[in-house]
Amino acid sequence: MESVGVGLIGTGYMGKCHALAWNCVNPVFGDCPQVKLVHLADITEAQARDKARELGFADSTADWRAVIENPQVDVVSVTTPNSFHPEMAIAALKAGKHVWCEKPMAPDIKDAERMRDAARGSGRVAILGYNYIQNPIIRHMGSLLDGGEIGEVFHIRLEMDEDFMADPDALFYWKSEASAGYGAIDDFAVHPLSLVHKLLGPVSSVMADMAMPYPDRPLADGGRRKVETYDIASALIRLENGASGTLCVSRTAWGRKGRVAIQIFGSRGSIIFDQERMNELRLYRNDGPSANQGFATILASPDHSPYERFLPAPGHGLGFNDMKTIECRQLLAAMQDENAHVIDFEEGLIIERTVHAMAQSYHARGWVDV
Protein backbone atom coordinates (compact mmCIF):
# COMPACT_ATOMS: atom_id res chain seq x y z
CA MET A 1 0.00 0.00 0.00
CA GLU A 2 1.87 3.02 -1.34
CA SER A 3 -0.78 5.59 -0.65
CA VAL A 4 -4.15 5.92 0.97
CA GLY A 5 -7.06 8.03 -0.29
CA VAL A 6 -9.09 9.59 2.46
CA GLY A 7 -12.71 10.68 2.58
CA LEU A 8 -14.18 12.71 5.43
CA ILE A 9 -17.86 13.07 6.25
CA GLY A 10 -18.54 15.78 8.81
CA THR A 11 -16.31 18.69 9.86
CA GLY A 12 -17.38 19.46 13.41
CA TYR A 13 -15.35 18.82 16.60
CA MET A 14 -14.33 15.31 15.65
CA GLY A 15 -14.28 16.02 11.92
CA LYS A 16 -11.56 18.60 12.38
CA CYS A 17 -9.82 16.24 14.78
CA HIS A 18 -9.75 13.53 12.08
CA ALA A 19 -8.57 16.02 9.49
CA LEU A 20 -5.70 17.14 11.71
CA ALA A 21 -4.71 13.53 12.24
CA TRP A 22 -4.77 12.82 8.51
CA ASN A 23 -2.62 15.93 7.92
CA CYS A 24 -0.12 14.95 10.60
CA VAL A 25 0.20 11.21 10.37
CA ASN A 26 2.80 11.29 7.59
CA PRO A 27 5.14 13.96 9.00
CA VAL A 28 4.84 12.58 12.53
CA PHE A 29 5.42 8.92 11.72
CA GLY A 30 7.21 9.03 8.38
CA ASP A 31 6.82 5.29 7.93
CA CYS A 32 3.31 4.90 6.63
CA PRO A 33 1.61 5.09 3.22
CA GLN A 34 1.27 8.54 1.70
CA VAL A 35 -2.01 9.99 2.80
CA LYS A 36 -4.00 11.73 0.09
CA LEU A 37 -6.89 13.89 1.25
CA VAL A 38 -9.36 13.14 -1.52
CA HIS A 39 -12.92 14.06 -0.73
CA LEU A 40 -14.80 15.88 2.00
CA ALA A 41 -18.55 16.09 2.60
CA ASP A 42 -20.34 18.73 4.59
CA ILE A 43 -23.91 19.95 4.82
CA THR A 44 -23.83 22.52 2.01
CA GLU A 45 -21.68 22.81 -1.10
CA ALA A 46 -20.31 26.14 0.07
CA GLN A 47 -19.41 24.92 3.52
CA ALA A 48 -17.87 21.77 2.11
CA ARG A 49 -15.78 23.85 -0.30
CA ASP A 50 -14.50 26.12 2.47
CA LYS A 51 -13.73 23.23 4.78
CA ALA A 52 -11.96 21.29 2.02
CA ARG A 53 -9.70 24.26 1.42
CA GLU A 54 -8.97 24.74 5.13
CA LEU A 55 -8.44 21.09 5.90
CA GLY A 56 -6.51 20.30 2.73
CA PHE A 57 -8.96 18.04 0.86
CA ALA A 58 -8.85 18.03 -2.95
CA ASP A 59 -12.57 17.76 -3.59
CA SER A 60 -15.77 18.59 -1.74
CA THR A 61 -19.45 17.77 -1.82
CA ALA A 62 -22.75 18.21 -0.01
CA ASP A 63 -23.64 14.57 -0.83
CA TRP A 64 -21.87 12.19 1.50
CA ARG A 65 -22.57 9.28 -0.85
CA ALA A 66 -20.25 10.91 -3.37
CA VAL A 67 -17.39 10.46 -0.90
CA ILE A 68 -18.21 6.81 -0.36
CA GLU A 69 -18.48 6.13 -4.07
CA ASN A 70 -15.30 7.99 -5.00
CA PRO A 71 -12.91 5.33 -6.32
CA GLN A 72 -9.94 7.37 -5.11
CA VAL A 73 -11.15 7.00 -1.55
CA ASP A 74 -9.85 3.99 0.40
CA VAL A 75 -10.95 4.92 3.89
CA VAL A 76 -13.79 7.09 5.16
CA SER A 77 -13.84 9.08 8.38
CA VAL A 78 -17.40 9.24 9.68
CA THR A 79 -17.70 12.10 12.15
CA THR A 80 -21.34 13.12 11.82
CA PRO A 81 -23.84 13.08 14.73
CA ASN A 82 -24.25 9.60 16.20
CA SER A 83 -27.61 8.90 14.61
CA PHE A 84 -26.04 9.08 11.15
CA HIS A 85 -23.25 6.61 11.91
CA PRO A 86 -25.12 3.39 11.02
CA GLU A 87 -26.26 4.41 7.57
CA MET A 88 -22.96 5.99 6.58
CA ALA A 89 -20.66 3.39 8.05
CA ILE A 90 -22.63 0.50 6.57
CA ALA A 91 -22.78 2.18 3.18
CA ALA A 92 -19.05 2.82 3.24
CA LEU A 93 -18.28 -0.78 4.15
CA LYS A 94 -20.59 -2.02 1.38
CA ALA A 95 -18.77 0.25 -1.05
CA GLY A 96 -15.58 -1.54 -0.06
CA LYS A 97 -14.10 1.25 2.02
CA HIS A 98 -12.36 1.01 5.36
CA VAL A 99 -14.22 2.97 8.04
CA TRP A 100 -13.01 5.17 10.90
CA CYS A 101 -16.19 6.01 12.77
CA GLU A 102 -16.55 8.21 15.80
CA LYS A 103 -17.90 6.65 18.93
CA PRO A 104 -20.44 5.70 20.08
CA MET A 105 -21.58 3.54 17.20
CA ALA A 106 -25.28 4.37 17.39
CA PRO A 107 -27.96 5.48 19.85
CA ASP A 108 -29.87 2.23 19.23
CA ILE A 109 -28.07 -1.00 20.06
CA LYS A 110 -29.81 -2.70 17.12
CA ASP A 111 -28.11 -0.27 14.76
CA ALA A 112 -24.77 -0.89 16.42
CA GLU A 113 -25.32 -4.61 15.82
CA ARG A 114 -26.05 -3.98 12.15
CA MET A 115 -22.80 -2.01 11.91
CA ARG A 116 -20.91 -4.87 13.51
CA ASP A 117 -22.56 -7.30 11.07
CA ALA A 118 -21.66 -5.12 8.11
CA ALA A 119 -18.05 -4.97 9.26
CA ARG A 120 -17.83 -8.71 9.85
CA GLY A 121 -18.36 -9.78 6.28
CA SER A 122 -16.71 -6.85 4.60
CA GLY A 123 -13.05 -7.74 4.63
CA ARG A 124 -12.47 -4.12 5.53
CA VAL A 125 -11.17 -2.43 8.65
CA ALA A 126 -13.88 -0.77 10.74
CA ILE A 127 -12.73 0.98 13.88
CA LEU A 128 -14.08 3.47 16.37
CA GLY A 129 -12.55 6.73 17.57
CA TYR A 130 -11.60 5.72 21.11
CA ASN A 131 -8.57 7.96 21.24
CA TYR A 132 -7.83 7.76 24.99
CA ILE A 133 -6.51 4.22 24.53
CA GLN A 134 -3.78 5.64 22.28
CA ASN A 135 -2.10 7.83 24.90
CA PRO A 136 1.50 6.58 25.18
CA ILE A 137 1.34 6.78 28.96
CA ILE A 138 -1.85 4.70 28.90
CA ARG A 139 -0.11 2.22 26.64
CA HIS A 140 2.65 2.13 29.22
CA MET A 141 0.02 1.45 31.87
CA GLY A 142 -0.95 -1.55 29.78
CA SER A 143 2.64 -2.76 29.68
CA LEU A 144 2.93 -2.40 33.44
CA LEU A 145 -0.25 -4.40 33.94
CA ASP A 146 0.73 -7.09 31.43
CA GLY A 147 4.17 -7.30 33.01
CA GLY A 148 2.64 -7.95 36.41
CA GLU A 149 4.23 -4.83 37.90
CA ILE A 150 1.29 -4.33 40.24
CA GLY A 151 0.45 -8.02 40.52
CA GLU A 152 -3.06 -9.28 40.00
CA VAL A 153 -5.61 -6.52 39.57
CA PHE A 154 -8.65 -6.94 41.77
CA HIS A 155 -10.28 -3.53 41.98
CA ILE A 156 -10.74 -0.48 39.78
CA ARG A 157 -12.44 2.88 40.04
CA LEU A 158 -13.33 4.93 37.01
CA GLU A 159 -14.64 8.45 36.73
CA MET A 160 -15.38 10.71 33.80
CA ASP A 161 -16.58 14.18 34.56
CA GLU A 162 -17.05 17.48 32.80
CA ASP A 163 -19.11 20.53 33.59
CA PHE A 164 -20.56 21.62 30.26
CA MET A 165 -24.08 20.97 31.57
CA ALA A 166 -23.45 22.02 35.16
CA ASP A 167 -25.11 25.40 34.90
CA PRO A 168 -28.78 25.06 35.86
CA ASP A 169 -29.47 28.38 34.15
CA ALA A 170 -28.17 27.24 30.77
CA LEU A 171 -30.87 26.86 28.16
CA PHE A 172 -32.49 23.49 27.49
CA TYR A 173 -30.99 21.86 24.39
CA TRP A 174 -31.12 18.56 22.59
CA LYS A 175 -28.87 16.71 25.04
CA SER A 176 -31.66 16.93 27.61
CA GLU A 177 -34.18 15.28 25.27
CA ALA A 178 -34.91 11.56 25.64
CA SER A 179 -34.18 11.08 21.96
CA ALA A 180 -30.52 11.88 22.70
CA GLY A 181 -30.18 8.71 24.76
CA TYR A 182 -29.81 8.12 28.48
CA GLY A 183 -27.51 11.08 29.22
CA ALA A 184 -24.06 11.07 30.82
CA ILE A 185 -23.87 7.33 30.51
CA ASP A 186 -23.90 7.57 26.71
CA ASP A 187 -21.71 10.63 26.51
CA PHE A 188 -19.00 9.48 28.84
CA ALA A 189 -19.15 5.91 30.07
CA VAL A 190 -17.87 4.48 26.80
CA HIS A 191 -14.55 6.29 27.27
CA PRO A 192 -13.45 4.75 30.58
CA LEU A 193 -14.97 1.48 29.40
CA SER A 194 -12.73 1.56 26.32
CA LEU A 195 -9.76 1.92 28.63
CA VAL A 196 -10.89 -0.91 30.88
CA HIS A 197 -11.57 -3.08 27.88
CA LYS A 198 -8.07 -2.64 26.53
CA LEU A 199 -6.29 -2.73 29.87
CA LEU A 200 -8.20 -5.39 31.77
CA GLY A 201 -10.84 -6.92 29.53
CA PRO A 202 -14.62 -6.83 29.37
CA VAL A 203 -17.14 -5.95 32.05
CA SER A 204 -19.38 -8.88 32.95
CA SER A 205 -22.11 -7.36 35.10
CA VAL A 206 -23.31 -3.96 36.21
CA MET A 207 -25.62 -2.24 38.66
CA ALA A 208 -26.21 1.45 38.05
CA ASP A 209 -27.90 4.46 39.51
CA MET A 210 -28.70 7.53 37.45
CA ALA A 211 -29.72 11.01 38.51
CA MET A 212 -31.16 14.23 37.15
CA PRO A 213 -29.71 17.09 39.18
CA TYR A 214 -31.94 19.63 37.47
CA PRO A 215 -35.50 18.51 36.82
CA ASP A 216 -36.12 21.23 34.26
CA ARG A 217 -34.17 23.86 32.39
CA PRO A 218 -35.06 27.29 31.00
CA LEU A 219 -36.22 27.80 27.42
CA ALA A 220 -35.20 30.73 25.28
CA ASP A 221 -38.76 32.09 25.29
CA GLY A 222 -38.87 32.29 29.05
CA GLY A 223 -40.62 29.04 29.90
CA ARG A 224 -39.04 25.91 31.28
CA ARG A 225 -38.90 22.36 29.94
CA LYS A 226 -38.65 19.10 31.81
CA VAL A 227 -35.29 17.38 31.47
CA GLU A 228 -35.52 13.83 30.10
CA THR A 229 -31.94 12.59 30.38
CA TYR A 230 -29.70 11.74 33.31
CA ASP A 231 -26.69 14.04 33.71
CA ILE A 232 -25.15 11.74 36.32
CA ALA A 233 -24.67 8.00 36.51
CA SER A 234 -22.84 5.75 38.96
CA ALA A 235 -22.34 2.03 38.61
CA LEU A 236 -21.00 -0.93 40.48
CA ILE A 237 -19.21 -3.19 38.03
CA ARG A 238 -17.68 -6.64 37.87
CA LEU A 239 -15.12 -7.60 35.27
CA GLU A 240 -14.79 -10.96 33.56
CA ASN A 241 -11.40 -11.32 35.19
CA GLY A 242 -13.11 -11.19 38.58
CA ALA A 243 -12.18 -7.64 39.56
CA SER A 244 -14.77 -5.42 41.19
CA GLY A 245 -15.12 -1.71 40.71
CA THR A 246 -17.11 1.43 40.17
CA LEU A 247 -17.76 3.70 37.21
CA CYS A 248 -19.05 7.21 37.79
CA VAL A 249 -19.87 9.82 35.16
CA SER A 250 -21.22 13.32 35.31
CA ARG A 251 -21.62 16.18 32.90
CA THR A 252 -22.63 18.51 35.72
CA ALA A 253 -19.42 18.32 37.77
CA TRP A 254 -18.38 21.94 38.20
CA GLY A 255 -14.63 22.35 37.76
CA ARG A 256 -14.07 19.09 35.95
CA LYS A 257 -13.16 19.86 32.36
CA GLY A 258 -11.86 16.65 30.89
CA ARG A 259 -11.46 14.35 33.82
CA VAL A 260 -11.09 10.69 32.98
CA ALA A 261 -9.78 9.31 36.25
CA ILE A 262 -8.62 5.75 36.71
CA GLN A 263 -7.54 3.95 39.85
CA ILE A 264 -6.29 0.39 39.45
CA PHE A 265 -5.43 -1.68 42.51
CA GLY A 266 -3.42 -4.88 42.37
CA SER A 267 -1.81 -7.29 44.77
CA ARG A 268 1.61 -5.64 44.44
CA GLY A 269 0.82 -2.03 43.66
CA SER A 270 -1.51 0.58 42.23
CA ILE A 271 -1.76 2.84 39.20
CA ILE A 272 -3.55 6.17 38.99
CA PHE A 273 -4.26 8.37 35.99
CA ASP A 274 -6.24 11.50 35.26
CA GLN A 275 -6.76 12.70 31.70
CA GLU A 276 -6.62 16.34 32.86
CA ARG A 277 -2.93 15.59 33.43
CA MET A 278 -2.67 13.32 30.44
CA ASN A 279 1.13 13.24 30.42
CA GLU A 280 1.39 11.79 33.94
CA LEU A 281 0.98 8.31 35.36
CA ARG A 282 1.21 7.57 39.07
CA LEU A 283 2.64 4.19 39.99
CA TYR A 284 2.97 2.66 43.45
CA ARG A 285 4.76 -0.61 43.94
CA ASN A 286 5.30 -2.56 47.13
CA ASP A 287 8.99 -2.76 46.38
CA GLY A 288 12.08 -1.79 48.35
CA PRO A 289 12.05 -0.37 51.87
CA SER A 290 8.60 0.80 52.92
CA ALA A 291 10.15 4.05 54.20
CA ASN A 292 10.81 5.00 50.56
CA GLN A 293 7.60 3.84 48.97
CA GLY A 294 5.26 6.35 47.40
CA PHE A 295 3.37 7.01 44.22
CA ALA A 296 5.90 7.80 41.50
CA THR A 297 4.71 10.45 39.06
CA ILE A 298 5.98 9.25 35.69
CA LEU A 299 6.05 11.87 32.93
CA ALA A 300 5.39 10.75 29.36
CA SER A 301 8.66 10.38 27.51
CA PRO A 302 10.30 8.74 24.51
CA ASP A 303 10.41 5.59 26.65
CA HIS A 304 6.68 5.38 26.07
CA SER A 305 6.26 4.68 22.37
CA PRO A 306 5.20 6.34 20.11
CA TYR A 307 5.83 9.55 22.09
CA GLU A 308 9.26 9.68 20.43
CA ARG A 309 7.64 10.25 17.04
CA PHE A 310 6.33 13.57 18.30
CA LEU A 311 9.18 14.70 20.54
CA PRO A 312 12.66 13.43 21.35
CA ALA A 313 12.68 15.06 24.80
CA PRO A 314 10.82 13.66 27.82
CA GLY A 315 8.21 15.57 29.78
CA HIS A 316 7.56 18.12 27.06
CA GLY A 317 3.93 17.17 26.67
CA LEU A 318 1.66 15.65 24.09
CA GLY A 319 -1.84 17.00 23.55
CA PHE A 320 -5.31 15.59 22.97
CA ASN A 321 -5.04 15.89 19.20
CA ASP A 322 -1.80 13.90 19.18
CA MET A 323 -3.78 10.88 20.45
CA LYS A 324 -5.89 11.08 17.31
CA THR A 325 -2.79 11.07 15.13
CA ILE A 326 -1.65 7.90 16.87
CA GLU A 327 -5.10 6.41 16.36
CA CYS A 328 -4.81 7.28 12.68
CA ARG A 329 -1.45 5.51 12.51
CA GLN A 330 -2.98 2.45 14.13
CA LEU A 331 -5.79 2.51 11.61
CA LEU A 332 -3.25 2.53 8.78
CA ALA A 333 -1.50 -0.41 10.43
CA ALA A 334 -4.78 -2.31 10.59
CA MET A 335 -5.41 -1.53 6.93
CA GLN A 336 -2.04 -3.09 6.17
CA ASP A 337 -2.96 -6.22 8.15
CA GLU A 338 -0.43 -5.32 10.79
CA ASN A 339 -1.03 -5.82 14.48
CA ALA A 340 -2.96 -2.73 15.55
CA HIS A 341 -4.16 -1.31 18.85
CA VAL A 342 -7.69 -0.27 17.97
CA ILE A 343 -11.25 -0.82 19.05
CA ASP A 344 -13.11 -2.32 16.11
CA PHE A 345 -16.84 -2.68 15.65
CA GLU A 346 -16.81 -6.05 17.47
CA GLU A 347 -15.25 -4.62 20.57
CA GLY A 348 -17.16 -1.39 20.26
CA LEU A 349 -20.42 -3.32 20.37
CA ILE A 350 -19.40 -4.99 23.62
CA ILE A 351 -18.68 -1.57 25.14
CA GLU A 352 -22.03 -0.21 24.05
CA ARG A 353 -23.84 -3.28 25.35
CA THR A 354 -22.25 -2.52 28.70
CA VAL A 355 -23.73 0.96 28.65
CA HIS A 356 -27.16 -0.35 27.76
CA ALA A 357 -26.90 -2.92 30.54
CA MET A 358 -26.19 -0.10 32.96
CA ALA A 359 -29.30 1.78 31.94
CA GLN A 360 -31.29 -1.44 32.19
CA SER A 361 -29.95 -2.13 35.69
CA TYR A 362 -31.04 1.31 36.80
CA HIS A 363 -34.62 0.61 35.86
CA ALA A 364 -34.48 -2.98 37.16
CA ARG A 365 -32.87 -1.81 40.44
CA GLY A 366 -30.60 -4.85 40.36
CA TRP A 367 -27.53 -6.35 38.72
CA VAL A 368 -27.60 -7.00 34.98
CA ASP A 369 -25.19 -9.23 33.07
CA VAL A 370 -23.66 -7.66 30.00
Binders of a copy of itself in range 145-164 (CB under 8 A): 149-151, 154-155, 157, 159, 162, 164
Could you write out the DSSP letters of every residue in 250-280? ES--TT-SSEEEEEEEESSEEEEEEGGGTTE
Exposed/middle/buried for residue 23 (C-beta within 10 Å: 0-12, 13-18, 19+): middle
Residue 241 as a binder of a copy of itself (CB under 8 A): the answer is: no
Q: How far is CA 178 from CA 225, 259, 321, 324, in A?
A: 12, 25, 31, 30
Nearer Cβ to a copy of itself (122/275): 275
65/277 with CB nearer a copy of itself:
277
Stretch that binds a copy of itself, among 67-75, 117-125, 175-183, 256-264 (CB under 8 A): 256-264
Least distance in angstroms from the C-beta of 19 to a copy of itself: 5
Q: Is 102 in the site for a copy of itself (CB under 8 A)?
A: no
List the end-to-end C-alpha distance of the chain, in Å, as a whole number: 39
Q: Which of 38, 101, 138, 318 binds a copy of itself (CB under 8 A)?
A: 318
Task: For 124-137, give one letter per residue: b (16+ CB within 10 A) or e.
Answer: bbbbbbbbbbbbbb
- Give the integer Cα–Cα distance in Å for 143 and 283: 12
Using CB under 8 A as the binding rule, whether residue 267 contacts a copy of itself is answered as: yes
Query: Is the Cβ of residue 50 or residue 108 nearer to a copy of itself in the bound state?
Result: 50
The DSSP 8-state label assigned to residue 164 in this structure reads T
Distance, CA of 202 to CA of 185 (rounded, Å): 17
Tell which positions 169-198 bind a copy of itself, by CB under 8 A: none
Q: How far is the CB of 69 from a copy of itself (least distance, A)?
A: 25
Query: Which residues on neighbouring strands pair with residue 246, listed in sequence order?
Result: 157, 236
Shortest Å, Cβ 61 to a copy of itself: 18
Q: Identify which range of 38-46, 196-204, 307-315, 332-340 contacts a copy of itself by CB under 8 A.
A: 307-315
Rg of the chain in Å (alpha carbons):
21
| Cis peptide bond upstream of 104, omega within 30 | yes
Smallest distance, a copy of itself to C-beta of residue 290, A = 5
Q: Which stretch binds a copy of itself (CB under 8 A): 52-60, 65-73, 120-128, 333-341?
A: 52-60
Q: Answer yes or no whether residue 203 interacts with a copy of itself by CB under 8 A.
A: no
